[in-house]
Each structure stands twice: as structure tokens, then as C-alpha cells.
Amino acid sequence: MAKRIQALGSNGKIILDMGTGPGTLALIAAKKGAKRVVATDIDPACIEAANRNAKEHGLSNVIEVVQSDGFEKVSGSFDMIIGNLPFRDKGWENIVISAKDLYSRFLTEAPNYLNKGGTILIVTASFADVGFIRSLVDNTGLTVKELVEHKFHTDWIVFQLT
Ligand SMILES: C[S@@+](CC[C@H](N)C(=O)[O-])C[C@H]1O[C@@H](n2cnc3c(N)ncnc32)[C@H](O)[C@@H]1O
């Protein structure tokens, strides 16, 4: 995913990084000149880590970290929307994540937040239900490019939607 972001370029772009975790992809986009990055996650620990990392890299003026379940707290529109979401169901404390529900919500809603000429990137892996995600991607009606990289005995599939 990092390679794809760099290949497409983030210079001057407004970017949404959903499921930012510690903010790695948001940092890459910001370091490569993004105008603004909104980095969201549902997990408060990730929000804290992403904020800390943005600050440590001197990029708090570019990266806005927002705690949000999917698009719940997202506003505005973006030139690039990145989704590196959980591949499997997960639950901790009072948070329960259904991976299929999340991908489904992401791919239904993301096109509504995309600027004209923008790109949506979503990544999955061969151990996940790739067929399910492919069907969601196809249902968006956008043009789809599928890029596969083999690493750690796993195929990593990035869907690029424009
Ligand atoms: C596979 S990790 C990706 C982390 C990071 N983007 C990276 O590339 O290293 C998935 C992230 O999605 C977040 N997440 C899970 N459910 C979410 C939801 N409903 N809304 C937003 N983020 C969510 C998790 O907390 C986790 O940080």
C-alpha cells in the first residue's frame, strides 16, 4: 500500500487514511507533500499513537487524527481515500468489528467522499475473503485496477479504484 501511495503521489493532495493504526500511511502521504491528511481509527489507542507520531515527525499541522467508526465523523472530500482495514473479525473492550461489514460500509460510502479524478485504495490479503471484497469493489461502478504483491508467503492485493 505504501508503494502504491508513493507511485500515485500525494503531493498537494487531500487524503483520508481510514484505519490508520499508528498513522504509518498517513505519515508517508504527509512526508511526500500531501496538503492535508485526515487519519481515522476506531481504537483510542491508535488515535493516541497516530497523534504522537504526527507530532514527533513535525506533521501535526498536516495530519488531523479523528476517532471515528468508518465514515461516522468524516466530513469533506478527498483526492485519495486509503483503506487498510482489518482482514478478520475482531473484538476488544466494547469494540466489535465485523470485517465484512466494515469493507462493505467503506466501499459503499467512500465514493461519496471522493473528489472528481480521485483514487480509492483498499488492500487485502490472500488469507482473507478476497472474492467478497472483489464483488464489493465491482459494485462501486468505478474503474478497478488490481495489483498483487507476493510477500511473507502471502499475496497482498491492492484494489485501485478511479
Ligand atoms: C490492519 S490495521 C491497519 C493499520 C495501518 N493502516 C497500517 O497500515 O499499518 C486496521 C486498522 O483499522 C482500524 N479499524 C477497525 N475497525 C475500524 C472502524 N470501524 N473504523 C475505523 N477504523 C477501524 C483498527 O483499529 C486498525 O488500526
Per-residue pLDDT at 58: 98
Q: Which ligand 1 atom is nearest residue 1's CA? A: 8
Q: What angle do CA 36, 40, 44 make, to 5 degrees?
A: 135
Distance 18 CA to ligand 1 centre (A): 7
Q: Which amino acid is at 3?
A: K
Q: Which ligand 1 atom is nearest residue 105's CA? A: 19
Give residue 55's domain range: 2-161
Q: Is the dihedral of CA 113, 8, 25, 140 positive or negative?
A: positive
CATH number of residue 32's parent domain: 3.40.50.150
**Stretch 126-155: mean pLDDT:** 94
**Other residues' Cβ atoms within 10 Å of the Cβ of residue 95:** 11
Phi-psi sector, 55: left (phi>0), alpha (psi -120 to 50), beta: alpha
Mutate to test the pocket of ligand 1, among 6, 17, 85, 89 (most ligand atoms within 8 A of CB): 85
Looking at the structure of the chain, the number of domains it has is 1
Rounding to the nearest 10 degrees, give the CA dihedral for residues 89, 90, 96, 98.
Answer: -10
Q: Is the CB of 40 under 6 A from ligand 1?
A: yes
pLDDT in tens, 11-58: 999 999 999 999 999 999 999 999 999 999 999 999 999 999 999 999
- The answer for residues whose C-beta is within 8 angstroms of residue 55's C-beta and 6 or more apart is none
Per-residue pLDDT at 95: 64
Query: Is residue 96 scored above 70 in pLDDT?
Result: no
